[in-house]
Amino acid sequence: MIKEILYDREYFSPLDTLECGQIFRFRKVENGFLVMSDDRACVIAENGENTAILCNEGDEEYFYDFFDLKRDYSKIYEKALRSGNEFLEEAARVGKGVRILNQNKREMMISFLISQNNNIPRIKKIIENLCNALGEKRNFMGYEYYTFPKAVSFFDKTPDFYKGLGLGYRSDYIGNLKDIASDDYMNMLSDLSGEKLKSELLKIKGIGEKVADCICLFGFHKTDSFPVDTWIEKIYREDFKGELKNRKAITEYFVNLFGENSGYFQQYLFYYKRSFEKLAKK
């Protein structure tokens, strides 16, 4: 039985929410997008004044939470518009339909470990390879997909296995992660405050400042996180006329500026800059 959730589209655009760089498992289908999370899938599409979520009966609550539908984004948007920074204001207008998803924690940890020094199309492909190899084959509304692998699926794999999937030098990091991405470990992380969570993540080989910020923001919804990658560094330099070189210092600069809204604003900025550059190349 397929269920439908309707939600006002003003602050929930399928395209903005999926293309802003926070999620790697989705694909265009007829009339909308197939979105995968952990072992589930749904289809989201624009439907008049609403965005419609189609999911299996029993998954309604999961996806209601996944798309962060309990939160009032008008307040976040209004704050961005009143920030006094023209670039952010324009970015917010363009990305008005962005929401920060509540994604599976293990999936985020592994996905962003793969993301380092890599581009989004290839990150998507590697994660798809990983799911095809270790996940379970499923079907939703006639669309075939693979679930994100369970922790136990990683336990007996060697770095060579991951190299075969295209992970390159990151294979050693995933190999190192196999014991600690267990359910117990992830539950332990869930109980930590933002600061302690980040310092715990930084103990893991392959996770540095930026990836830790991404996991905090996209896996644990710590919205006082502000990941700084090559794009954000470029925005900082070109659009905020900043002079700091050190990425950690740039993160601190933005968190001081935006506080609890750092993560939301970061997504507006990232999405806007990348869309702009894509258009410029065409």
Partner DNA sequence: TACCAGGTCTGAC
Partner DNA sequence: GTCAGACATGGT
Buried b (16+ CB within 10 A) or exposed e, 46-80: bbeebbbbbbbeebeebbbebbebebebeebbebb
Told to check if 232 binds DNA by CB under 7 A, we report yes
Query: Encoding tokens for residue 20?
Result: 């802003």
# binding residues, DNA (CB under 7 A) = 41
Residues 159-218 that bind DNA (CB under 7 A): 163, 166, 168-169, 172, 204-212, 214
Query: Encoding tokens for residue 71?
Result: 């939160």
Query: Encoding tokens for residue 274?
Result: 């990348």
Closer by beta carbon to DNA, 241 or else 281: 281
| Of 110, 134, 228, 255, the one binding DNA by CB under 7 A | 228
Closer by beta carbon to DNA, 140 or else 268: 268
Walk across the sheet containing 40-47 and list its strands.
2-8, 50-56, 40-47, 32-37, 26-29
| Of 53, 265, 266, 268, the one binding DNA by CB under 7 A | 266
Of 57-65, 73-81, 190-198, 264-272, the window that binds DNA (rule: CB under 7 A) is 264-272
Specify whether the CB–CB gap between 74 and 27 falls below 8 A: no
Told to check if 21 binds DNA by CB under 7 A, we report yes
Told to check if 102 binds DNA by CB under 7 A, we report no
Closest distance to DNA from the beta carbon of 178 (Å): 16
Closest distance to DNA from the beta carbon of 126 (Å): 8
Closest distance to DNA from the beta carbon of 276 (Å): 13
Closer by beta carbon to DNA, 140 or else 258: 258
Residues 105-134 that bind DNA (CB under 7 A): 115-123, 125
Query: Encoding tokens for residue 33?
Result: 């997008």
Listing DSSP states for 138-190 in one string gives EEETTEEEEPPPPHHHHTT--HHHHHTTT-GGGHHHHHHHTTTTSHHHHHHHH
Strand partners, 47: 50
Closest distance to DNA from the beta carbon of 181 (Å): 15
Closest distance to DNA from the beta carbon of 273 (Å): 10
Closest distance to DNA from the beta carbon of 171 (Å): 8
Closest distance to DNA from the beta carbon of 45 (Å): 22
- Give dist(CA 236, CA 246) in Å, integer: 11
- Note the residues at the interface with DNA (CB under 7 A): 20-22, 115-123, 125, 163, 166, 168-169, 172, 204-212, 214, 227-232, 245-246, 266-267, 270, 274, 281
